[in-house]
Amino acid sequence: MTVSETNRLDMLVGLRMYLGDSVANTLIEHLPPGGWQDVARTADTDRLQRDFDRLHDDFTQLRNEFQGIRQEFQGLRQEFQNLRDEFQKLSDRYDTTMKWLIGISLTYGIGILGCAVGVLAVAIQQ
């Protein structure tokens, strides 16, 4: 039951008649302003503490999971860096191989051209 200000005043007037002004005023001052339903009990604060403890545990678990995810991303970054390095090595090998192939092709081409010129020179002399 919610105690209104009118109820509190009526109670104060009645208490003053039986207990006197000083005692009645002190008693009314010790009553909660909205009634006893607004006063927290030890069980209420214990329940809140348990709820806060559960929340704390949940946040700690989330923090640990995020730390694990961060570590996994760091591992992925390292793997991608390794892949980049491997592709760079392959690219370098490809460049070197292409240079060799061009050099060999030019050498064969010049050799074939020389042979063709030689054959033509012999054919012209005959």
Query: Does the predicted TM-score (pTM) go above 0.75?
Result: no
Q: What is the per-residue pLDDT across 28-66, written as a single tens digit (0 to 9) for each?
A: 888 777 666 667 788 888 999 999 999 999 999 999 999
Q: Where in the chain are the domains?
A: 1-39, 42-125
Per-residue confidence (pLDDT) for residue 5, from 0 to 100: 78
Q: What is the per-residue pLDDT across 90-117, written as a single tens digit (0 to 9) for each?
A: 999 999 999 999 999 999 999 999 999 9
Rounded to the nearest 10°, the torsion over CA 42, 45, 46, 49 is -160
* pLDDT confidence bin for 125, thresholds 50/70/90: confident
User: How far is CA 124 from each of CA 111, 113, 115, rounded to the nearest angstrom?
Assistant: 20, 16, 14
